[in-house]
Structures are given as C-alpha cells and as structure tokens.
Amino acid sequence: MKRLLLTAGLTMSLLLCGCASEQSESENKQTEPPAETVDAVKEIKKINVNSSPKDVGDWEPLGRYSADITGDGEDDMITLYTSVQRDMSGELMWDDTQEWVLQAETAEGVYDLYDERIHGNAYMNVADFYNEDGDIKVISLIIAGNSFNEIREYSYNGKEFEEKIAYSTDDVSSEGINSVYSSIPSYE
C-alpha cells in the first residue's frame, strides 16, 4: 500500500510540475499570444451532500482513509469502491469495465465525489497541501484507463467539495490514446 501511495503521489507530482521559461518584456511584445494549453484554467465542479448516495453495499473497497477532511474536528472516511467481485479463492474477477465510486462520509452526510465506469483502474491519494492559511487536504483520483489518463482533485471549501481535473489526456489528444505501459501496480 505504501508503494502504491508513493507511486501515485510521485506520478501526481511529476504531472503537476512544469517548467516555465522566462522572456523579457520586449520578447513578449514581439511574439503572438500563447495558444491555449493543457495548463489553461480548469473548470471547478461543486459537489454537494448526496441525499441518496450510490449503494455500494457489496462492492469491493480498494482504498480507504480516515482523517478530518472537512475541518470540523471529526474524522471523515474517504473510500474508493469498485463493482468488481472476488471469486471463492479471493481473487478479483475483473471485467472489461468496472464501476468506480469515490465517496466521502462526513458528519454532514455522504458525498459521491466520483461515480463512473472505467475501462481500466483508479487509485486514490490524500495529501496535505500547505499554504499561509494552514493545510488543505486534497484527495486525488488517478485514473489509469486504457483509452485515457486523468487526475482529478477534490478539496472541501467549507460548504461543499470541489472537483478539478488537474490533468487529462483528453486535453492533449482529441483522437484518444491506447496505454501500452504503466508502472502503477495492479490490484491483487
């Protein structure tokens, strides 16, 4: 599990870090405005408490973390579920696609942060982001699909969770992709 969290954290860090080149004011005046890039401002989606959260009663929890995410002094439970089932010997019986749900259980209720089918796998990572106002817990969902890769970030703003797509191959490839290798380990 430590290796998975380390790998996911490292992957997220590498994807989010970028290099910036410096240009003088005169160079900026002589060049055309930059084209829209992957680093363009991302849309933020608000996620409210769900009055009828997804029923994941017999689903497999593949990641679970307890901490005070909402800042109310009480521990919240973050769980990544998948619809895959285990066979009699305990092996996961993967299908072509699985449903995945990332839920946050708080004192306010249950938030369905993510609820989609994926042809591939999903992994979660929780990190403290420090700034001058203190720390903010950020939940990252790393989606390693066969036709796309994506990192979504979830944070609590005091009233609700916010979702931001931090990285998506949909931003850089309108024709899609086919993943041929990943060092992210498979679930067992």
Encode pLDDT of 67-114 as tens digits. Answer: 999 999 999 999 999 999 999 999 999 998 999 999 999 999 999 999
Report whether pLDDT(23) > 50. no
pLDDT above 90: residue 188: no
This prediction has a pTM of 0.74
CB 81, CB 103: distance < 8 Å: yes
How many alpha carbons fall within 13 Å on the CB side of residue 160? 11
Report the 10 Å Cβ neighbour count for 2: 6
Contact, 115 vs 103, CB < 8 A?
no
Higher-pLDDT residue of 172 and 66 is 66
Q: What angle do CA 184, 143, 151 make, to 5 degrees?
A: 105
* Sequence spans of domains, the chain: 2-17+43-171
Phi, psi angles (nearest 5°) of residue 128: -90, 125
User: Which tops the pLDDT comparison, 180 or 66?
Assistant: 66
Tokens of 51: 């009055």
In this model, does residue 174 exceed pLDDT 80? Answer: no
| pLDDT for the residue 134 | 79
Contact 60/79 with Cβ under 8 angstroms? no
Residue 111 to residue 187: CA distance in whole angstroms: 25
Q: Is the distance from CB of 177 to CB of 61 less than 8 angstroms?
A: no
Residue type, 19: C
Of 54, 52, 112, 44, nearest in space to 78 by CA: 112
* DSSP at 34: P
Contact 121, 184 (CB under 8 A): yes
For residue 183, what pLDDT is reported? Answer: 85
Residue bearing the bigger pLDDT, 143 or 134: 143
